[in-house]
Amino acid sequence: MRELTVLDRSVLDRTPAVCCSPLAATGMSDEDAETTAAVFKALADPGRVRIMNLLANADAPVCVCDLTPELGLSQPTVSFHLKKLVQAGLLEREQRGVWAFYSVNREVLERLGTIFELEGAQGGGRT
């Protein structure tokens, strides 16, 4: 029987502080690699990518109840995806009474946009 690895909850619950170092950066630390992998893992689901797209185009924070019909997914499924995106630091969650509203963490997305920069990398990124 295969043994499951239990992840440290503190890794899952933290917002990436420096997401994400460019892949071409020299001397990427283990922590940077883990943070970057967590972001990629969070975006590895088409439903989550659609959520990011909807929220990136929203004028204001959006309630899960407004996302559910747009995505064609059940409320528990949408909530699960939102939780994963919040844990990766990609979304911000604001509690208003019994409802939670979500918005894109634009600061993290701006840093994420630099991840594929190859300027200064050895070989100039060419093969």
Give residue-wise pLDDT tens across range 65-108: 999 999 999 999 999 999 999 999 999 999 999 999 999 998 88
Mean pLDDT value across residues 10-39: 69
- Residue 3 resides in a domain: no
User: CA–CA separation, 6 vs 115, rounded Å?
Assistant: 28
The residue range of the domain holding 83 is 18-117
Q: What is residue 120's predicted lDDT score, i.e. its pLDDT?
A: 58
- Residue 70 resides in a domain: yes
CATH code for the domain of 108: 1.10.10.10
Helices (H), 1-127: 9-13, 30-42, 46-56, 64-71, 75-87, 106-112
- Residue 2 resides in a domain: no
- Residue 34 resides in a domain: yes
Q: What is residue 2's predicted lDDT score, i.e. its pLDDT?
A: 34
**Under a CB-based contact definition with an 8 Å cutoff, are residues 66 and 54 in contact?**
no
Q: Kindly indicate the confidence band of residue 117, based on its pLDDT and cuts at 50, 70 and 90.
A: confident
Average pLDDT value over all residues in the chain: 80
Q: What is residue 86's predicted lDDT score, i.e. its pLDDT?
A: 95
- Residue 7 resides in a domain: no
Residue 118: how many other CB atoms lie within 10 Å: 13
Q: What is residue 70's predicted lDDT score, i.e. its pLDDT?
A: 94
